[in-house]
Every structure is written in C-alpha cells, then in structure tokens.
Amino acid sequence: MHSWPRPDVPSLPGAGLPLRLHDTSTSEVRATAPGEIATMYVCGITPYDATHMGHAATYVTFDLVQRVWLDAGHEVHYVQNVTDVDDPLLARALETGDDWMALADRETQLFREDMTDLAVIPPRHYIGAVESIPAVLRYIEKLRAAGAVYAVDGDLYFRVRADERFGSVANLPDHEMLRVFAERGGDPDRPGKEDPLDCLLWQLERPGEPAWDSPFGRGRPGWHIECSAIALDHLGSPIDVQGGGSDLAFPHHEMGASEAQVATSDWPYARHYTHAAMVRLDGEKMSKSRGNLVFVSTLRHAGHDPNAIRLAILAHHYRTDWDWTDEGLAEAEARLQAWRDAVDAPGAAPAQPVLDAVRARLADDLDAPGALAAVDRWAENTRLRSGAAGADDPDAHLLVRDLVDALLGVRL
Ligand code: 5CA
Ligand code: ZN
C-alpha cells in the first residue's frame, strides 16, 4: 500500500556519528548498521482506532534512528507493516457494524496524516498483512519443509522449540513467557498443542470472518509470521534493527525471530531488537483495549502545533516509560517558542557546538532529552546576547534551523 509524503531532510555540514543503540536481546548498547545500507523493520499499527500518543512516540523514536543513520551517510531501507486483518480489528468491526476493510482503510489513512504532520520519514515499503498473504504462505511452506509445523483441528502451529535460540530475544523465564503469551493474543491452554508456547501460523476460516484460499485450506495468517514474512521479503536477514514498542518484545518479536531463523536456517534475524518504552495516561499504559487514549489527530484538530507534539515526545528518553500530560505539551510549546524566538533573534550564539552536541547525544542510544538540552542552551545564550554588538554568527541561525529539522524532525 502507499505510505505518506517524505519530508525534506536538510543535509548538514560534516558527517554524523555512528549510532549506538540498545539491544533487548543482549541488554547492551552497541554500534548499529555496519554496512552502507542500513535496514530497519518497525512493527506498524493494527488500524482499528486512531493513532495515539503511544504509537506516535514509538514511530518518532525509530524516526530518530533513520535520521541519525542518514546523517552518518547511510542509505536507509525501512519497512513497516499494517496489520490490516487480525482479531482485534475484526472484533471492533463486529462491535461497530463497520466493514472491517473500510475500518482498516480509514484508520490507516488517518495514521498517514498523523505521521505526515509529525514529520516522520515514511518507510520505503509500507505493506499490509492482506497483501502479504502469498509471502506468508511461502514462509509457512519453508517452515513445514523444516519440520517445524503441525496442525490442531486444521489450524497450523509453529514449533517454537524448532529454533534452538527461542527465548533469546526477550530472555524471559518460562513462567513469564506463559503469562505474557496468554495476555498478548496467545493461546497457551488450547488442547492439542505440543508446547503451550507454540504459535499460530494459519487459522482456518471461521464463520463470519474473512478468509483466503491456501494449500492449507481457506483461512487467514497468524500475527507473528506476518511481520517475519514481510521483513524477510523486503529486507532479507539480518536486518540491522527490528523495532517496536516494548509490549512487542514478547511474544511478537521472540516468535517472529524464531520463525525467521528456522525458515532461513540463519541467525540472527536481527542484529538489534530495539524497544520503545510505553507511554501512559494517568499511570496506565495507553492502549486501544483500555481506551485511555490521547489521539494525535485530536491534538492536531485542537490547533496544537505538530512540532510541539514531537518535542513533547522527545523530552523523554525512549527507554523510560512516561505519562502523557497537558503540562508536558505546554512545556513543549514554550520550548518551541523559545527556539523560534532564538532563530529569529539578531545575535545568534555559535552553532557548531550545538550541532556537535546534538549529534553526540543522539548517537548515544538516542538521548533526545540531552539533544534538546543542547539546543536549549544555545537558545538561552542567543537570548542573552541578543542586541549585543559583534555577537552575531551570521550562519548560526540557518545551521540551527537545519540541524533541528534534520536530526530532530522539528521545524522552527
Ligand atoms: N500491528 C501490531 C504490530 S505488528 C501492533 O502492535 N499494533 S498496535 O497498533 O497495537 O501498535 C503499534 C505500535 O505502537 C507497536 O510498535 C506498539 O508496540 C506501539 N505501542 C502501542 N501502545 C503503545 C504505548 N502506550 N506506548 C508506546 N508504544 C506503544
Ligand atoms: Zn509486527
């Protein structure tokens, strides 16, 4: 499917730094992207509701990854999916009487508009689950050939233990894997499964649900294989970064990695598994199932500048859970104004130290709060020297405007 328009990304003088990033599987911050082409797959939305601040924060996080790589001279191949057929989407359509496809189309379109407003650089390939069913079937066939598939009442399951490294993405103890699997769409108690953690690859048609023809009978794909198939088809392995929110580390990224590793007989599926922390509202994870949501589109329509929404996100480190608040947005609006005032002020402070600092902070595991503090210091110095004779650096305004745009995705 089509993605959304690409924002202009100014090029900056000199070269950016190599990005070091946290990897969940090893709990280390390590260098990313050894090659000229850097590859990234980020799990996309399940389009049954509008983009909330949690989604926005996750996509802005991985947008920083792309921006740091571009600045360091990499070509970036970025792929994202849309889970446009899945249990929660079908359940919502049933509840509201909507056609499931119309619901998915509408919410995906709103997501594109939100991403455009937030200046998130689009993926090269934006791929729906429905359109990737042929790829999913090919990968199921590979898993079958590897002896990793069995049926329960006609539904196909993946033997997670066919991958000797199963468990090494999220590194959870067995009892935790079972608990979290049950919580996040899994079916550990289904009779007939060989291992309670085995996951669904292909589900036979159920009354009233959409289904597609396949050599395994009419049905629809399981969730994890959707992402592995799309990523392997469009990027190959190993991908440099598999991204998503921390709620996806287990089971989604664990099982997707094992499926990919068995299907390709290769390891690793991804060099980095990187996870954005959860955005909460009043202390509770913002989630479509809980319904405690602040939508990007609501804020946009209320007249909030998307640049301020982006700054409100960037004020938090991506690995720390945080609460979305009105005060946080108001602070971001004040910061945006202070920065805009500074780039319009007559006596700018030198900009090269800001560029060096923002590059260094972002390359160090995306320390966005540290990068914002560097621009704050420049804006404050500029304010203090405003009007002072001989204090001007004529190119500084332009350079700060460009670096804030290119590296932080914020337009001054
Ligand atoms: N379609 C699947 C991934 S294949 C899915 O999880 N969709 S989603 O719509 O539920 O979430 C989309 C992305 O937003 C995922 O990366 C998810 O981890 C992230 N996300 C969801 N809720 C939050 C939250 N409260 N804070 C931060 N990120 C979140
Ligand atoms: Zn996914």
Whole-model pTM?
A: 0.97
Instruction: Tell me: pLDDT of 392 over 70.
Output: no
Q: How far is the CA of 369 from the centre of ligand 2 (A)?
A: 27
Residues around ligand 2, an ion, CB closer than 5 A? 43, 227
| pLDDT, mean of residues 121-145 | 98
Tokens 């590194």 -> residue:
171
**Which stretch of 110-119, 279-288, 329-338 has the lowest confidence by average pLDDT?**
279-288
58, 184, 279, 318: residue to mutate for ligand 1 pocket, most atoms within 8 A of CB: 58
Count Cα atoms within 13 angstroms, Cβ side, for 360.
10
> Residue 391 above 80 pLDDT?
no
Provide mean pLDDT across the span 50-59: 96
Which of residues 397 and 2 earns the better pLDDT score? 2
According to the model, what pLDDT value does residue 347 have?
Answer: 79
Q: How many whole angstroms from 326 Cα to the centroid of ligand 1? A: 22
Cα angle, residue 254 at apex, residues 251 and 255 outer, rounded to 5°? 75
Share of the chain above pLDDT 70, in %: 98
Q: Which residues contact 211 (CB under 8 A, 6 or more apart)?
A: 204, 205, 218, 219, 220
Ligand 1 in contact with 286 (CB < 6 A)? yes
pLDDT of residue 63: 98
pLDDT score for 386: 73
The reply to whether ligand 1 has any atom less than 6 angstroms from the CB of 128 is no
Q: Is 107 in the pocket of ligand 1 (CB under 6 A)?
A: no
Q: Whose CA is nearest to atom 7 of ligand 1?
A: 45
Cβ atoms of 281 and 293 closer than 8 Å? yes
Mean per-residue pLDDT, 371-392? 84
Q: Is the pLDDT of residue 389 over 70?
A: no
CB atoms within 10 A of CB 165: 15
Ligand 1 centroid distance, CA of 392 (Å):
46
Is the pLDDT at 103 greater than 80? The verdict is yes
Q: Which residue has the higher pLDDT, 230 or 49?
A: 230
Nearest CA to ligand 1 atom 4: 43
Above 90 in pLDDT, residue 289? Answer: no
Q: Percent of the chain having pLDDT more than 90?
A: 91
CA-CA distances (angstroms) from residue 305 to 60, 191, 279, 321, 333?
15, 52, 20, 24, 8
Dump pLDDT digits (tens) for 204-225: 999 999 999 999 999 999 999 9
Who contacts 116 (Cβ-Cβ below 8 Å, separation ≥6)?
A: 4, 5, 7
Atom of ligand 1 nearest to the CA of 45: 9
| Mean pLDDT across the chain | 96
Report whether the peptide linkage leading into residue 5 is cis, meaning its omega lies within 30 degrees of zero: no
Q: What is the mean pLDDT of residues 323-347?
A: 95
pLDDT band at 388 (very low <50, low <70, confident <90, very high): low
Least confident of 17-26, 271-280, 285-294, 395-404: 285-294
pLDDT at residue 146 in the model: 98
pLDDT band of 290, cuts 50, 70, 90:
confident
Q: Is the CB of 25 under 6 A from ligand 1?
A: no
Section 57-82 average pLDDT: 98
